[in-house]
Chain A
Amino acid sequence: DTEVTQTPKHLVMGMTNKKSLKCEQHMGHRAMYWYKQKAKKPPELMFVYSYEKLSINESVPSRFSPECPNSSLLNLHLHALQPEDSALYLCASSQDRDPATDTQYFGPGTRLTVL
């Protein structure tokens, strides 16, 4: 089973709203990732968690706040977003046995629209 699930599938929010994206995997993976993907562009890494600790933050604005409550769950809290933050937000996970060669498995994404 290589399934990563994400909720919600779609989210529309105003610039003053606070919302959260959720990601879950039950493959026993210990690394989890958030990516942002704009239309017709490749995914861009935002955050990496390894063993529930934040290991990479790609200079993401503070209006995006990641959280890893346990090794199976990853959240992305959103607050005061801008319309240009509208994108597909992808979660991925990997074993974290060998960071150089572990395969990342992606979820279906949350399509976010900021009005």
Chain B
Amino acid sequence: GESVGLHLPTLSVQEGDNSIINCAYSNSASDYFIWYKQESGKGPQFIIDIRSNMDKRQGQRVTVLLNKTVKHLSLQIAATQPGDSAVYFCAENASGGYNKLIFGAGTRLAVHP
């Protein structure tokens, strides 16, 4: 992902709406992708992952979509809640034998009541 300088892109949603967070990845050889959630003052928390042989994976309230043609990843959160407010990072593993994650720039999700 590209650096966005001093300000993270922010997605503002109303409580109860669905959220879609997008991520472009850089390496067409990447074979594993992860979404992490990072709340203020905490470490990144695993949300959901997807392998390159899949194009969709669902979890509880979250869905990850992978489009390898355009190297795009998205995270959909259903019925967004105030507790979902955080910075969301996508990460790709393209290390060819090493578990080396490359993180995207991150998106701040702000949920309003």
- A residues neighboring B (CB under 8 Å): 2, 4, 6, 31, 33, 40-45, 48, 55-56, 90, 92, 94, 96, 99-109
- Which residues of chain A are near B89, meaning CB under 8 Å? 42-43
Check A100 against B99 for contact (C-beta < 8 Å): yes
Which residues of chain B are near A92, meaning CB under 8 Å? 43
Asked if residues B106 and A42 are in contact (CB atoms below 8 Å), the reply is yes
Docked-complex contact A90 and B97, CB < 8 angstroms: no
**Which residue numbers of B lie inside 8 Å of A, CB to CB?**
1, 3, 6-8, 31-32, 34, 36, 41-46, 49, 51, 89, 93, 95-101, 103-106
Q: Is the CB of B44 within 8 A of A43?
A: yes
A56-B100, A100-B32, A104-B99 provided; 6 other pairs, C-beta below 8 A? A40-B106, A56-B98, A90-B43, A100-B96, A100-B97, A106-B36
Distance A12 CA – B36 CA, assembled complex (angstroms): 28
The residues of A that contact B99 with a CB separation of less than 8 Å are: 31, 33, 48, 94, 96, 99-100, 102, 104
Chain A residues near B105 (CB, 8 Å)? Answer: 41-42
**Bound-complex Cα distance A92 to B43 (A):** 9
A40: which of B8, B31, B41, B93 is its contact (CB, 8 Å)? Answer: B8
Least distance between A49 CB and chain B CB atoms (Å):
11
Contact among A6, A44, A100 with B31 in the assembled complex (CB-CB below 8 Å): A100
Name the A residues within 8 Å of B106 (CB-CB): 40-42
Per the bound structure, the CA–CA distance linking A101 and B7 in Å amounts to 31
- Known interface pairs A31-B99, A102-B99, A108-B42. Does A42 touch B104 (Cβ–Cβ under 8 Å)? yes
Considering the chains assembled together, what is the distance between the CA atoms of A95 and B47 in angstroms?
17
Considering the complex, give the chain B residue whose CB is closest to the CB of A39.
Answer: B6
